[in-house]
Structure 1
Amino acid sequence: MNAPRAPIANNLVWAILVTLFCCLPGGIVAIVYAAQVDGKAAAGDYAGAQQSADNAKLWCWISLGVGLFAIVAWFGLVMLGALADAGNY
């Protein structure tokens, strides 16, 4: 008899959060992978479910990194614009 397997975390909550707050395209990819996890696990494809969960986590991290980089770059450009504008007076 097979021992029951521990549930695989699908990372869907994190995928939704990074989609809303960080990077839309990467977050959508993360949501797609996260949505595959439970279906694959229910079908008995535990290796595929784990791979989809790992891909969802990877895309969450990528989206977070891109979002943070974009925010820092935007603030940097705003500061450069403020410094350039202050020099015109």
Structure 2
Amino acid sequence: MQPGMPPPPGYQQGPPPGAPQEPVNSHMGWAIGAIFLFWPLAIPAIMAASRCNAAVAAGDYMGAQAASEDAKKWAKLATIIGICWYVLSCLIFGLASCGGLMAANSAATSTY
């Protein structure tokens, strides 16, 4: 492209070389926290967050943004599934123990 000519349609010009970029959030903290909720999906989140940090260090901001979105997706899935899993487990075990107590209580108070 020659100086003074308008850019072609659809062309996006980035910031000049050496200009500071917006910081990219790697979501590493969220990914590490998700380990305690649902580790099978938190591991890909941690790996994507690591790729994001490496891409930022290499100056690849588009790659860093893509890895950041990937880490966010995996961390969000791990969080949602983990919370649902824990709530469901508490309900199942709570109802099971409640039913067991009721059966034990009725057996203790019945007369033969």
- Under a length normalisation based on structure 2, what TM-score does the superposition of the two structures give? 0.72
Structure 2 residue runs without a partner (length 5+) = 1-15, 107-112
Q: Which amino acid is the alignment partner of residue 28 of structure 2? A: L
Match of 1:73 in 2: 88
Using CA pairs under 8 Å that are at least 6 residues apart, name the structure with larger relative contact order, 1 or 2: 1
Whether 1:56 and 2:71 are equivalent positions in the alignment is yes
Q: Residue type matched to 1:47 in 2?
A: M
Q: 2:26 aligns with which of 10, 26, 41?
A: 10
Between the aligned residues of both structures, percent identity stands at 30
- Matched position secondary structure for 1:9: coil
TM-score (norm 1): 0.88
In 2: Cα distance, 1:78 partner to 1:48 partner: 44
Distance 1:38 1:78 in 2: 41
Moved beyond 4 Å, runs of 4+: none
CA-atom RMSD in angstroms: 1.3
Q: Which runs of 5 or more residues in structure 1 are unaligned?
A: none
